[in-house]
Homo-oligomer: A and B are copies of this chain.
Amino acid sequence: MEEPRKRARPGRAPAPAGRTSRPRQAEVARLAGVSQATVSLVLGARKQGATISEETRRKVLDAVRALGYVPDPAASRLAAARNNLLGVFSFTSTFPTDVQHSYYPFLVGVEQEAAARGYDLVLFTGSSTGGAGAAGPNALARVRLADGCLFLGRHAPAEELRRLVADGFPVVHLGRRDELEGLAWVGADYISASQEVVAHLAALGHRRIVLIREDDEAPASTDREHGFLKGLEEAGLPGGPAAVFRSADPERELTAERLRGWLDEGVTAFVAEETDTGDAWRALHGAAHFVGIDCPRDASLALLGSPPPDLAEEPVPTGFDIPRPQLGAAAVRMLAALVSGEAAAEPLVACTFRPGSTAGPAPARY
């Protein structure tokens, strides 16, 4: 009788028996007097098939509590399941010292919504230089540990994003992003919000309104212009290229002379778009002040967004606010939908109109 050759057993070294490691399903099973598979079934609570007696379920759950068992996220993932983790990836630091570009307001909503849906959040920071999570060519790969991932900011390399999307990994981009086929995103509804601001001005009697915008092709900019023009049209006011002043450097090009020219032409309201720098509003605000306009008596101003922090005091600009926490929450809702395979949620979040104090009735025509 040939004894099958007893090969040695390669594989991993035995765990250092020193300290008790986190409990596994196997330990739970032993304590409950059942098999590991049963523990998995009880905890899995799949709608599907397997029936478990109340008795056994209780024993298992007791053991789970007694040991403080928590499933290993990596193992759950590997076994082709989910681990209740949602990733949040920001290519720049999530908590910057420079609070200017902080994602904090979004995170407020993200955290709330995630918690409400039973997900925990994993923060992936892409900016890390050095360390194990270095910014290699596939720094994004580690997000696959989670069930899905939310991306903040447009710095995420398109190539890797495309890869994730192509592999069917649930991804949601915060901020509209159309150029990447199949990328889910949520964003603020700048079109409606801008339209509403124009409607407000029109209702106040303004008949000629000009939009000051920077020279930017980002959706955030074109959407505002789109909404602005739509608002004019709805109100039956003159639109066309003459209603839009586009400048790469508004602070320099929006001169007092030009402003006076518009006023002479009968323009009574000015609208600026919001950008990272807030330059359009700053230029408009400055020029109006320079020319000596008493706002809103002589003319009305409005801002399509929130003012830069340094101009946040008074007067509060008429315009709209981007509900950042709600945007974060909406992003999580969409991500959760993708993860669970449900129908996609609503990508657009409505902005809230801000009455402010820079818009008033149009001055009487003489």
Which residues 49-98 of A have a CB within 8 angstroms of B? 65, 68-75, 77-78, 80-81, 83-85, 93-97
In the complex, the answer to whether B72 meets A144 with C-beta atoms within 8 Å is yes
Q: Known contacts A68-B163, A108-B97, A167-B20; decide if A123 and B120 are in contact (CB<8 Å).
A: yes
Chain B CB within 10 A, most for which of A84, A122, A123: A123
Which residues 160-180 of A have a CB within 8 angstroms of B? 163-164, 167-169
Of the listed stretches A131-139, A202-210, A305-313, chain B binds: A131-139
Of the listed stretches A109-117, A183-191, A258-266, A351-359, chain B binds: A109-117
In the complex, the answer to whether B123 meets A130 with C-beta atoms within 8 Å is no
In the complex, the answer to whether A120 meets B122 with C-beta atoms within 8 Å is yes
Q: Known contacts A68-B141, A122-B120; decide if A19 and B133 are in contact (CB<8 Å).
A: no
In the complex, the answer to whether B69 meets A141 with C-beta atoms within 8 Å is yes
Of the candidates B65, B72, B163, the one whose C-beta lies within 8 Å of that of A78 is B72
Q: How far is B123's CA from A74's CA once the two chains are assembled, in angstroms? A: 16
A201 at the interface (CB under 8 A from B): no
Question: How many residues on the A side are at the interface (Cβ–Cβ under 8 A)?
Answer: 66
Of the candidates B20, B115, B134, B145, the one whose C-beta lies within 8 Å of that of A125 is B115
Residue of B nearest to A110 (CB): B95
How far does the Cβ of A238 sit from chain B's closest Cβ, in whole Å? 43
Question: For the complex formed by this chain, how many copies does it contain in all?
Answer: 2
Residue of B nearest to A94 (CB): B111
In the complex, the answer to whether B118 meets A121 with C-beta atoms within 8 Å is no
A297 at the interface (CB under 8 A from B): no
Chain B CB within 10 A, most for which of A131, A145, A163: A145
How far does the Cβ of A77 sit from chain B's closest Cβ, in whole Å? 4
Query: A304 to chain B: which residues have CB within 8 Å?
Result: none
Q: How far is B19's CA from A15's CA once the two chains are assembled, in angstroms? A: 39
Q: How far is B104's CA from A99's CA once the two chains are assembled, in angstroms? A: 10
A270 at the interface (CB under 8 A from B): no
In the complex, the answer to whether A117 meets B144 with C-beta atoms within 8 Å is no
Residue of B nearest to A136 (CB): B65
In the complex, the answer to whether A116 meets B145 with C-beta atoms within 8 Å is no
Q: Known contacts A19-B168, A68-B163, A167-B22; decide if A131 and B115 are in contact (CB<8 Å).
A: yes
A7 at the interface (CB under 8 A from B): no
A21 at the interface (CB under 8 A from B): yes
Query: A80 to chain B: which residues have CB within 8 Å?
Result: 12
* Supplied contacts A71-B145, A116-B128, A120-B124, 13 more A-B pairs, CB within 8 Å: A68-B141, A69-B141, A70-B142, A70-B145, A75-B78, A94-B111, A95-B104, A111-B125, A115-B131, A116-B131, A119-B131, A120-B130, A121-B125
Residues on A facing B (Cβ under 8 Å): 12, 15, 19-22, 65, 68-75, 77-78, 80-81, 83-85, 93-97, 99, 104, 107-108, 111-112, 114-125, 127-134, 137-138, 141-145, 163-164, 167-169, 325
| CB pairs A–B below 8 angstroms (6 shown) | A22-B144, A68-B144, A73-B144, A74-B83, A115-B128, A120-B133
